[in-house]
Amino acid sequence: MKKTIKVLIIDDSALVRQTLSDILNSDPEIEVVGCAADPIIAAERMRTVVPDVITLDVEMPRMDGLTFLQKLMSQHPIPVVMCSSLAECGSETTLKALEYGAVDIITKPKMGTKQFIEESKMRICDAVKGAAAARLGPLRSMRTMKEVAPKYTADVIMEKPNTKAMIQTTEKVVVVGASTGGTEALKVFLEMLPEDTPGIVIVQHMPENFTAAFAKRLDSICRVTVKEAQDNDTLVRGRALIAPGNHHALLKRSGARYYVEIKDGPLVSRHRPSVDVLFRSAARYAGKNAVGVIMTGMGDDGARGMKEMHDSGAITIAQDEASCVVYGMPHEAVKLGGVNKIMPLQNIAAEVLRLCS
């Protein structure tokens, strides 16, 4: 039998612990091996059972999540998924946890429509599987996780591009997709870019309300302007737009002006926003004037869209395995034959600039 992913849940809410347990135990590849109301209790539990993944609340009695995370990563690194509420004031704190070594963010489960509950369940289980596959050190190896239906393609948002109908222009645009490990990868990439970099649109798999805080944090440390994308935002040099959580972002064009369309729709490749949707729109409206980059992440979102970009004449780049936290999305794009160049994270910014010059 295939080995299950052992999960320890740390949260001071009994209701959240029970709900998370029910959600995670419903997936045959995951097993909840313990729950703890705070990190002190969790540390005692870990003396007998060492989990593969920990879900960790931020605010708890006796020891907060950030302090525990720092101690854990310095003494016994284990993949951690932060479990946070959607409160705006908590977004910055949770993003800080990603800098301290957490692999991903999930929002605390809550009641809603049947579709909302199913999507939330999918997101939580996928985050845990992605964390289990993450490389925290040279000895951690990637696990192959089975995906479950339904799984839509970008067809539900936009038709495939007609490469013969491309409008010619000299202005370059850059589109980037990332997931697990992408928050740090995007920071490295964007910090290397100068103020006159061509316009960039980014999809980073992240819950709603966190993308605005993430963009604000990047904006404070980068020479390019970084903001959460709003519908009809224009792509201009020196600006990077990050797709808002829970909404698809499409690159569009009107004459010589590139802009973004923000829209609702079903999960595509199990995500909203979806990299496949962004890349398909770039294939249609930018064609050979686009540069596509796919970074670290679990699953295959972006692989089909990158192939469509490649076929439309765009130059496409995949982050290499050695520099990825999870070599899932780039690997799938390479397997489909949609990647022109494979390179370390540290080299991608310079290559993008060279291709856009």
Question: Is the CB of residue 275 less than 8 Å from the CB of residue 248?
Answer: no
Q: Give me the amino acid identity at 273.
A: P
3-state helix vs strand vs coil in the chain, percent to 5: 35, 20, 40
Task: Give CA angle at 62 (56, 66), nearest 5°.
Answer: 40
List 205, 247, 271, 331, catalytic entry: 205
Distance CA(69)–CA(255), nearest Å, equals 50
CB-based contacts of 114: which residues, under 8 Å, 6+ apart? none
Q: Is 220 a catalytic residue?
A: no
Taking every pair of Cα atoms in the chain, the longest distance, rounded to a whole number of angstroms, is 64
Strands annotated E in 80-132 = 80-84, 104-107
List 301, 310, 323, 331, catalytic entry: 301
Q: Is 205 a catalytic residue?
A: yes
List 84, 85, 179, 312, catalytic entry: 179
* 112 burial level (CB within 10 Å; 0-12, 13-18, 19+): exposed
Q: Give me the amino acid identity at 185.
A: A
Question: Is the CB of residue 337 less than 8 Å from the CB of residue 318?
Answer: no
Q: Is 301 a catalytic residue?
A: yes
Q: What amino acid positions are annotated as catalytic residues?
A: 179, 205, 301
